[in-house]
């Protein structure tokens, strides 16, 4: 009898550990199977996320090909089904389609919703211009007030596929009002070879998007020699100018902790000695 009780208890323990490890695996819905979906889906799967692609045509041959290169557990569904089955929803559709898509994914309350889009068009002078007054991320937040929207500024899909090609990790600016969601996206960014920086609350998406607008200028000029926006670590400004500079400070509890950097400095480790 004791033997059977032990076997039963062992079976219960194994079953519960299996369920909890499956639950620990978060599902990401990648909405849109274009360049960004093709780059980010396989990367997300490679770092342990369960990926579900949201497509207007989940059975399309190119979507089935994408599933094959992603992971055996990856699947495709309609955009709404994918979003509803996920913990994290990554919106990888062109900006002109965004409102229609983002308003029709069902209830996104409590989910992390990642915006990688740029709402740009070509202006009459040939240069790029924004098509929105605020930012794409703030508009997505307004359409889904209960979602935890995160702006994730990524480089072109080529540098997502092969981040080492630049010779350094591509800089990613990340803005969000929810600290934990921002940290989650920063950890994802770092795990797939990018270099995440904390750009502050979601309203800073306007500045993030403006920076990308600037770096697209050589593209519109048809220049072969392009440039990339690179953010590098440096010293906190008050290390040079004293703490008066930093007043009023943001609430320290709201500062996200990013992998390797992006954490608030406890103290200035290096004061410039020649001043
Ligand atoms: N490409 C880049 O290097 C890059 C870099 C940084 C940021 N971004 C941003 O990432 C987003 C996606 O860019 P992308 O280059 O991947 O775009 P894309 O290749 O033109 O299209 C993305 C996918 O969105 C879906 N889609 C297209 N039109 C739609 C519509 N009217 N309604 C619903 N779904 C539609 C399609 O997937 P299904 O056919 O499966 O539905 C399509 O393959 C954009 O907002 C862009 O600004 C792109």
CB 51 within 8 A of CB 71: yes
**What pLDDT does residue 69 have?**
97
CATH-assigned architecture of domain 2-235: 3-Layer(aba) Sandwich (3.40)
Domain ranges of the chain: 2-235
Task: Say what the pLDDT of residue 232 is.
Answer: 83
For residues 22, 84, 75 and 15, what is the CA-based torsion angle, rounded to 10 degrees?
Answer: 20
Q: What is the sign, positive or negative, of the torsion defined by CA atoms of 183, 189, 190, 196?
A: negative
pLDDT over threshold 90, residue 6: no
pLDDT at residue 243 in the model: 58
Torsion sign over Cα 92, 28, 155, 174: positive
- The CA 91 to ligand 1 mean position distance, Å, reads 8
Decide whether any atom of ligand 1 lies within 6 Å of the 96 Cβ.
no
* Lookup: tokens for 152: 């994730």
Report pLDDT digits (tens) over 52-89. Answer: 999 999 999 999 999 999 999 999 999 999 999 999 99
**Is the entire prediction scored with pTM above 0.85?**
yes
CA 23 to chain centre: 21
pLDDT of residue 233: 78
Q: How far is the CA of 154 from the centre of ligand 1 (A)?
A: 14
Q: At what angle do helices 61-70 and 35-46 cross, to 10 degrees?
A: 30
pLDDT 10s digits, 156-207: 999 999 999 988 999 999 999 999 999 999 999 999 999 999 999 999 999 9
State whether the Cα torsion 44-45-49-51 is positive or negative.
positive
Question: Among 40-44, 142-146, 193-197, 235-239, which is the least confidently predicted range?
Answer: 235-239
């Amino acid at each position: 009898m004791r033997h059977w009780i032990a076997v039963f208890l062992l079976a219960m323990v194994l079953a519960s550990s299996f369920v909890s490890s499956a639950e620990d695996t978060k599902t990401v819905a990648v909405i849109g199977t274009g360049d960004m979906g093709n780059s980010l889906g396989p990367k997300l799967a490679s770092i342990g996320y369960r990926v579900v692609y949201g497509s207007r045509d989940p059975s399309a041959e190119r979507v089935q090909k994408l599933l094959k290169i992603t992971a055996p557990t990856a699947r495709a569904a309609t955009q709404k089904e994918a979003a509803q089955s996920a913990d994290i929803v990554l919106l990888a559709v062109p900006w002109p389609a965004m409102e229609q898509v983002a308003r029709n994914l069902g209830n996104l309350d409590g989910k992390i919703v990642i915006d990688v889009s740029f709402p740009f068009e070509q202006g009459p002078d040939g240069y790029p211009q924004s098509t929105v007054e605020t930012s794409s991320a703030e508009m997505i937040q307004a359409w889904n007030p209960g979602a935890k929207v995160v702006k994730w500024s990524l480089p072109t899909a080529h540098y997502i596929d092969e981040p080492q090609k630049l010779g350094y990790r591509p800089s990613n600016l990340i803005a969000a009002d929810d600290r934990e969601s921002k940290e989650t996206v920063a950890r994802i960014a770092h795990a797939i070879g990018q270099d995440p920086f904390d750009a502050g609350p979601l309203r800073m998406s306007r500045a993030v998007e403006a920076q990308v607008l600037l770096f697209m200028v050589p593209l519109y000029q048809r220049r072969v020699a392009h440039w990339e926006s690179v953010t590098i670590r440096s010293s906190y400004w008050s290390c040079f100018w004293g703490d008066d500079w930093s007043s009023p400070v943001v609430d320290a509890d709201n500062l996200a902790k990013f992998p390797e950097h992006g954490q608030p400095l406890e103290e200035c480790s290096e004061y410039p000695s020649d001043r």
